[in-house]
Amino acid sequence: MTLNHNSNLFVGFANRLLNNDLVVNEKINIEVYYDIDNINWDINASVSPNTFLLYLHSLRPVLFLTKAYLEKKDINYLNAALKFIFSWREYSVSETNHNRYTWYDHSVAERTENLIFFLEVYQNLENVKERYESILSIIKTNAEWLFDDNNYTRRHNHGIFEDFSLIKSGYFLNDDGYIQKGITRLDEQLKYAFPNKYIHIENSVGYHIGITAYIKEIYKYLKSVSNEYAKTAYDYFSGAVEFLVYVYKPNLALPLLGDTIGSRESGKIEENYLNRQLEYVQSKGLQGEVPENNIKVYSNDGYFIFREYWDSTDFDQSTWMLFKAGYLSSTHKHADDLSFLLYSKGHDIFIDPGMYNYMIGDKIHEYTNSNFAHNTLIVDGKTYSVSKFNSNKVGLYSYNKKNGYHSIVAFNNIFNGVQIDRTVNIIDGDNFIIIDDILSRDYHKYTQVFHLSNDVEIMDLSKDYALLNIKKTKYCVLLEQLNSSDSVAYIEGNKNNEQFSLMSIGLNQVVPTTTIVFNKLDYNTRFVTSIRILEKRNLYKNNVLYSNNKVLINGVSIEISSRERLPENEVVVEIYGNKAKLINKANSDNQKLSYSFYLLNEITGRKYDSRPYSFLNHAEFKLDKNCSYAIMSYLKNTARETVVKLVGFIRYVGEEFLFEKLDKNQQQPIVEEANIISQGNNLFKFEVSISNFNVLTSKWYIYKNGASHQYIGNNSNFLEYQFTEPGIYSVLYRMNDIYFGEVVFDNFEEIRID
């Protein structure tokens, strides 16, 4: 596992372990008393018990103790490590072992590595053969578990951990089968994890860095054993490092995107990433090579990054902006589409909250994952599910360098019946125009969110502007609503139990912040927002002019207009004998459209036949009278903005095939709201309001005190559950439609049972 390489840190952790303080992870900095001769492998410690148990069963303490021995050569460290190892072995085969982390993908992978590392050190001592053989047996058992495909986690960073651990086991145990299987699976994992070469798929800069450093370890290890896959691993590593060149803020702090844990410490890049441009960033321009670009657009991954300049003289004063829309996986994902972050003059201005913890249902966890914690737009005060079904409804649409400014357009069509385009226009490092163009046939409350850094403070606020002071500088930020909003409000910290404004500074640690929200009530509407960074003495100079759908700022003219949205599917089905011709009449004058058609078995939902995306708007299929069909139509543009519809059904009735067309308002599943209903005696009904689902499959996951407690599957939109034990519970649910796949992935708020 990739860890901080500070030897003093490991010695400190090891000394705490020798003094009855159970430390399992450098990010869980609490005192947990334990008895090393009677270790409780089911301990409920910290406010993140799952995370604590994961690293306990990974035998992370064995790693700390072994590294401390290498530093100090004190045999007491290895003796303590032996107690952990044999205590865990005894627990793992006991009847009292009901802990999911005993045999869990991440914990087994890391435990195997830690045991191999321990044995590589321990084997050099005298009179250790019997214990060596016993620990070797444990490694073999864990390696067999990793080899078994039934225990393998595909398309996830935990699977990468399993692969590397299996490869190491293969070399340690001289088993080529382990090595080859590990390499084969690893190759599949990396293709999935970095689909566009540069950015890890799991939506978190923190996880991107962790996986990048881990792939570096894989590369170095494979190179050391002369495995030819080392070159491929290095290619993935170097691509991932390029993203880091641009995503670090000028003060070397990480943007707290997705499940990225915040920190009280100032920015610092400790890892050597073997890249000259990142070395330049790392040294703030004193070494390495100047990065080539001030604008980086990762369209398929959903990231746009602006950097004002790279000069070493005032490196950390440069303006930096990141704009995000789109995702390819729901793992570690927040509802942060159309959000942006802004840093300038040595300070954060608009921020992301980062990750609080992994405790499903915890109020602060729910806040940090919601759209209300991000600089984006909200419809009717609701957040949204980051399900696979929604992933093609958000993304970057286009980037253009225009006369005097850069313009990036992104879209969010997740809110039912609402289409949102956000355009960020960058004139220079001090001037930005953000245009939120919103279309709907219904009346809604639209909210624009600005999550402020604690480096800025509100000086003045109205429904048309906010004046922010950048502390300890001569600058301020003037945010103006050029197209007047209806109302404004601000939220501070957690004073209001219903609305938060917080930022992560560590696992289970937050600090209060301030959030400003501007509101509009309308059908179709538009926010036109200017953000200017000004010296306080020049505050009222160079006003922005807005009229006739045009903004004039510093001599630059920005035209404002609505882009043509993706048209609705208009599918006609023509049947001739045993053949069906599908024609999608949707067309566009300004967008290049692609069409795809699927015939699914109406009963099973499995594919019968299909036509891949092409520019042809029609396709012909041969029908079998022994089968009935669900007709799926797919339409997308070059930005991967997609509309998927269940058009209707073809069935063989009597002597002919007949087509039953669905009304337009029935062609997609709709998820409305989730409610908890108390029915007395600790019996609760968890219900999700849905419509237009076909055959529904639901998975309900019950968590108790943050740990997985029970799984229940059914074919209903509700679950009745009676709690029989005291604790804090939350219920996570996934609902699948037989034709659309996973439509919603979400959870209910916590319930306390006394």
Residue 4 pLDDT class (50, 70, 90 cuts):
low
Residue 352 pLDDT class (50, 70, 90 cuts):
very high
Q: What value does the mean pLDDT take over residues 244-270?
A: 90
369 and 506 belong to one structural domain: yes
Task: Let me know if residue 394 belongs to a domain.
Answer: yes
SS3 at position 426: strand
**How many whole angstroms separate alpha carbon 456 and alpha carbon 434?**
20
List pLDDT tens digits, range 108-167: 999 999 999 999 999 999 889 999 999 999 999 999 999 999 999 999 999 999 999 999
Which CATH number goes with the domain that contains 638?
2.60.40
Domain extent at residue 113:
103-193
Q: Residue 116 has what pLDDT? A: 97
Residue 268 has pLDDT above 90, yes or no: no
**How many whole angstroms separate alpha carbon 585 and alpha carbon 295?**
38
Q: Residue 705 has what pLDDT? A: 82
Q: Nearest to residue 183, comparing CAs of 220, 110, 144, 232?
A: 232
Report percent pLDDT > 70 for the chain.
Answer: 98
Q: Residue 707 has what pLDDT? A: 75
Task: Let me know if residue 262 belongs to a domain.
Answer: no
Domain count, the chain: 5
Average pLDDT, the chain: 94
Residue 496 pLDDT class (50, 70, 90 cuts):
low
1 and 78 belong to one structural domain: yes
Residue 539 has pLDDT above 90, yes or no: no
Task: Let me know if residue 28 belongs to a domain.
Answer: yes
List pLDDT tens digits, range 379-414: 999 999 999 999 999 999 999 999 999 999 999 999
**How many whole angstroms separate alpha carbon 436 and alpha carbon 696?**
35
User: Secondary structure of the chain: what % helix, strand, coil (to 5)?
Assistant: 25, 35, 40
Q: Residue 224 has what pLDDT? A: 97
Q: Give burial (CB, 10 Å; 0-12/13-18/19+) of 22.
A: buried
Q: Residue 661 has what pLDDT? A: 96
Task: Let me know if residue 258 belongs to a domain.
Answer: no
Residue 447 pLDDT class (50, 70, 90 cuts):
very high
Domain edge (last residue) among 97, 118, 146: 97
**How many whole angstroms separate alpha carbon 681 and alpha carbon 98?**
28
11 and 88 belong to one structural domain: yes
Residue 616 has pLDDT above 70, yes or no: yes
Q: Residue 1 has what pLDDT? A: 52
Task: Let me know if residue 315 belongs to a domain.
Answer: yes
660 and 675 belong to one structural domain: no
Residue 244 pLDDT class (50, 70, 90 cuts):
very high
Q: Residue 642 has what pLDDT? A: 95
Residue 54 has pLDDT above 80, yes or no: yes
**How many whole angstroms separate alpha carbon 700 and alpha carbon 712?**
5
478 and 549 belong to one structural domain: yes
Q: Nearest to residue 637, comparing CAs of 706, 722, 567, 725?
A: 567
Strands across the sheet containing 656-661: 607-614, 594-601, 629-636, 642-653, 656-661
Which CATH number goes with the domain that contains 502?
2.70.98.70
Residue 607 pLDDT class (50, 70, 90 cuts):
very high
Task: Let me know if residue 110 belongs to a domain.
Answer: yes
What residues are paired with 176 via a beta bridge? none
295 and 443 belong to one structural domain: yes
405 and 475 belong to one structural domain: yes
DSSP at 355:
B
Q: Which one-letter amino acid corresponds to residue 115?
A: L
652 and 720 belong to one structural domain: no
Residue 499 has pLDDT above 90, yes or no: no
Residue 571 has pLDDT above 60, yes or no: yes
Domain edge (last residue) among 193, 217, 235: 193
608 and 641 belong to one structural domain: yes
Task: Let me know if residue 131 belongs to a domain.
Answer: yes
Residue 359 pLDDT class (50, 70, 90 cuts):
confident
Q: Residue 162 has what pLDDT? A: 97
Which CATH number goes with the domain that contains 737?
2.60.40.10
Q: Residue 99 has what pLDDT? A: 86
List pLDDT tens digits, range 279-308: 999 999 999 999 999 999 999 999 999 999
335-367 burial code (b ≥16 CB/10 A, e <16): bbbbbbbbbbbbbbbbbbbbbbbbbbbbebbbb
Residue 59 has pLDDT above 70, yes or no: yes
Residue 50 pLDDT class (50, 70, 90 cuts):
confident
Domain edge (last residue) among 78, 97, 116: 97
List pLDDT tens digits, range 647-694: 999 999 989 999 999 999 999 999 999 999 999 999 999 999 999 999
554 and 676 belong to one structural domain: no
Residue 619 pLDDT class (50, 70, 90 cuts):
very high
472 and 491 belong to one structural domain: yes
Residue 495 pLDDT class (50, 70, 90 cuts):
low
Whether the Cβ atoms of residue 504 and residue 350 lie closer than 8 Å to each other: no
Residue 266 has pLDDT above 80, yes or no: no
459 phi/psi in degrees, rounded to 5: -100, -35
65 and 111 belong to one structural domain: no
Q: Nearest to residue 143, comparing CAs of 171, 183, 184, 101?
A: 171
Q: Residue 29 has what pLDDT? A: 79
Task: Let me know if residue 647 belongs to a domain.
Answer: yes
